[in-house]
Amino acid sequence: MQEDNYYFNYKDINLYFKKGESISILGSNNDEIVSFLLSKNIHVITYKSLYEFNKKTVKEEISMYYDKNIDELLSEYNLSNKNISELNICERIKLKILISILSEETIIIDNILSLLDDNDYKLILKKLNEYNKNEKIVINITNNIEETIFGNRLIIIYDDKLLCNDYTLIALREEKLLKRIGLGLPFIVELNKYLMDYGLINKYYLTTTGLVNELWK
């Protein structure tokens, strides 16, 4: 899939993504959406794709897309040059996302960010946000409510119905809707609500850094 604005119709649900957007898709139809995208030959980083057979080393794989200082990239992503078959799950995710960034593709991720450890999770979110600011599209398909704070738009599809398609912060205030489909609020949103109730902050902060900085003013 190219980096241009993108549109597709899924079971009479019209979805449109434009350059510079990062989107989370949450709901009960995620597996079907991924199958639909794969059937259209749209590249999705899935758990299965992390284990595609590959005899190359990390450097050999990266060199297919990037011919400058690869060692700097390895350092940035905390990767070492070894055979891809020897990589652990976190390393495989980082390499797949790095290759997608180097390929200048729209990045679609299927429910794998929660497999990262805390440090790698923060690193990858940082890299995806940097990539997104360059007028790229990043789509994170997830079942994890905590991951929905990533991105500027949240789409909720449940039982073939589009329940929500709005700015992330507005969507995550729909507590009744989330509870109706068996989901709670992300921890950071719950914490914001608690602090607002006590008058300690007057607006929402979706990053821990932003919230801490506000409290220490």
The DSSP bridge pattern shows strands 161-167 and 107-110 to be unpaired
Q: Per-10-residue mean pLDDT for the chain, 217 residues long?
A: 66 86 90 89 92 88 90 94 94 96 91 93 92 90 86 90 89 80 73 74 73 75
Overall CATH class of domain 6-173: alpha beta
pLDDT of amino acid 1: 44
Domain boundary assignment for the chain: 6-173, 186-217
With 0-12 / 13-18 / 19 or more C-beta atoms within 10 angstroms meaning exposed / middle / buried, residue 86 is exposed
Amino acid letter for position 197:
D
How high is the pLDDT of residue 76? 95
